[in-house]
Amino acid sequence: MLFSGKIKKDFDQLITFNKSITEEREKYLMSEKSEIASQISEINRELNAFGKNRSDTLSFLSETEVFNKYKELSNELVSLRTDIEKLERQKKHLHRLQELKAKIRSLSEECNHLQSEIENSVKQQDSDKTSLFSQIRLHFDEIVYEVINRRALLSVLSNKEGHLEFKAEILNEFSKPTSADTGHTYRKLLCIAFDLSVLRAHLGNKFPHFAFHDGVFESLDDRKKENLLTVIRRYTDMGIQSIITLIDSDLPLTEEKEPPVFDESEIVLRLHDEGEKGLLFKMQA
């Protein structure tokens, strides 16, 4: 054979070469392993040292009496600061409360003084026959007497709060108050009489010269309706305009040949349901 023995030699050399490389690599890895193991050991020693240092530090911070006292005093200091702020706020509120109490006392004294002045003024106005209130009371009585033939008393008192309270009463033949003024009909009449008497007392002054009364004749009998209409017309002649509303059934009855209760010149508006002209604003609802 041409290569007899030569191939076996070359293969043996290859095995020998690979074996030498493997041995050399193993030596290198063992050396590197030893070096790494040494480093790991050193790192473990350092970790143990750091762990002990950490443990000692934590033990000092958590177990020593000084730190415990510091924590206790810090918490107490925070609590004291909170209490101080709370007391400061209460102090401000207390000062404000004292100021308000002083102001209330001052205003109460002033209110009592003003109430005394009001009561004295009421007494003075009541006793002075020429005072504005006396004129209103006189006109009020005249109107009620002319309409229902009964005297009426208008009085004013100062209540516990110092406010003025007006009281209107209908008197009997013995000049004693009756319960007639508690009914709806006469209460409305007293309101009308009061309004007109106030306007009359202020004639010539810068004061309203008109009054509006709704359903002025409701529940009155015909004779009293006529009497009230006479009063309204007389006050119109004085310069006080009365605007009144009523329905046909509230008109006093008249004889067939007698003129109507109201002249056409006295009627401003007739309302009805027969078209837009009968509506208040002349337009569809």
Cβ neighbourhood burial of 2 (10 Å; 0-12, 13-18, 19+): exposed
Same domain as 258, residue 176: yes
Q: Which residue has the higher pLDDT, 101 or 28?
A: 101
Residue spans of alpha helices (H) in the chain? 6-63, 65-127, 132-148, 184-201, 222-238
Q: Could you tell me if 132 and 26 lie in one domain?
A: no
CB neighbour burial string for 171-187, b if at least 16 within 10 angstroms, e if fewer: beeeeeeeebbeeeebe
Q: Model-level pTM greater than 0.95?
A: no
Q: What is the pLDDT of residue 66?
A: 67
Whichever domain contains 185, its CATH number is 3.40.50.300
pLDDT tens per residue across span 252-284: 887 777 888 888 888 888 888 887 778 877 777
- Interatomic CA distance for residues 224 and 234, integer angstroms: 15
Do 132 and 270 have their domain in common?
yes
pLDDT in tens, 99-148: 888 899 888 888 888 878 877 887 787 778 888 889 999 999 999 999 99
Residue 73: inside a domain, yes or no?
no
The range of the structural domain enclosing residue 173 comes to: 128-278
For residues 59 and 133, state if they share a domain. Answer: no
Task: State how many domains the chain has.
Answer: 2
Q: Is residue 71 part of a domain?
A: no
59 and 142 housed in the same domain? no
Residues 132 and 258 both lie in one domain: yes
